[in-house]
């Protein structure tokens, strides 16, 4: 009698094989081979501004850097003919804000064949946020978004590649600046570099490639023209 009832009950081996299995990244027994950036953001889309690989999953809040050592790196144009740079205080810009500003520029210069856009900053700092009713202490927040800390005087976007009318470039960069929570300035190739909130002129002592030298005395980047600066952003 028991032998007749035995076939009606499946064995444990067949039952375990028929159950759905969890994905590899959810299984605790299988070691994860994905990078910390992939575990934070899941699937990294082509248009997503996120680093490909990072060493640490979380980062301290940190502060906005202030260039007090005399370095003028990143304050002038390097690729295009026109651009914008931060005029007021430095800020933390998120990947979403930078992406929206870049899309605005691309849409405005779409009519100019061969025009290119360069983003001079990149969001590589993971920002974590703690939930409500969470005890004090650091290191418990969950990943929220990617951001970057940009000091004052740093170039954000550049436009170039082909000859573009200044009116078109100025309008595109003005609309992109309205999407950012900082005050920006419209600059050209003739604009002088900045050291914090000061415009550098010929004869000022700056730090170029780790060496102190006098700006304008045959040291790159040398410029004889005055700074063409116009406030186009908002706080």
Q: Which residue has the tokens 């028991």?
A: 2
**Residue 235: pLDDT above 60?**
no
CATH ID of 60-231, from 3.40.50.10490, 2.120.10.30, 1.10.357.20, 3.90.1170.10: 3.90.1170.10
Average pLDDT over residues 99-119: 94
Domain-by-domain residue ranges, the chain? 60-231
How far apart CA 192 and CA 169 sit, in angstroms, is 19
Tokens of 63: 């502060």
**DSSP 8-state class, residue 71:** B
**Residue 234: pLDDT above 70?**
no
Tokens of 15: 């039952």
How far apart CA 180 and CA 155 sit, in angstroms, is 13
Question: 0.85 cut: is pTM over it?
Answer: no
Q: Which pLDDT score, from 0 to 100, does residue 228 have? A: 41
How far apart CA 30 and CA 24 sit, in angstroms, is 6
Please state whether beta strands 184-188 and 230-231 pair in parallel, antiparallel, or not at all (unpaired).
antiparallel
Tokens of 111: 């009519």
Q: Which residue has the higher pLDDT, 212 or 30?
A: 212
How far apart CA 179 and CA 107 sit, in angstroms, is 14
């Amino acid at each position: 009698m028991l032998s007749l009832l035995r076939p009606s009950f499946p064995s444990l081996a067949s039952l375990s094989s028929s159950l759905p299995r969890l994905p590899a990244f959810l299984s605790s027994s299988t070691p994860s081979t994905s990078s910390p950036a992939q575990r934070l953001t899941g699937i990294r889309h082509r248009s997503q501004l996120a680093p490909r690989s990072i060493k640490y999953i979380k980062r301290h809040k940190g502060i906005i850097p202030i260039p007090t050592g005399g370095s003028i790196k990143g304050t002038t144009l390097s690729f295009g003919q026109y651009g914008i740079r931060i005029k007021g205080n430095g800020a933390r810009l998120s990947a979403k804000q930078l992406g929206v500003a870049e899309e605005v520029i691309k849409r405005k210069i779409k009519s100019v064949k061969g025009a290119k856009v360069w983003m001079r900053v990149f969001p590589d700092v993971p920002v974590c946020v703690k939930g409500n009713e969470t005890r004090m202490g650091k290191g418990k927040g969950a990943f929220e978004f990617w951001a970057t800390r940009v000091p004052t005087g740093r170039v954000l976007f550049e436009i170039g590649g082909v000859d573009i009318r200044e009116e078109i470039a100025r309008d595109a960069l003005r609309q992109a600046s309205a999407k950012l929570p900082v005050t920006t300035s419209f600059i050209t190739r003739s604009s002088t570099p900045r050291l914090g909130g000061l415009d550098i002129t010929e004869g000022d002592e700056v730090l170029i490639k780790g060496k102190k030298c006098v700006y304008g005395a045959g040291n790159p980047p040398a410029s004889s023209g005055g700074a063409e600066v116009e406030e186009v952003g908002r706080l």
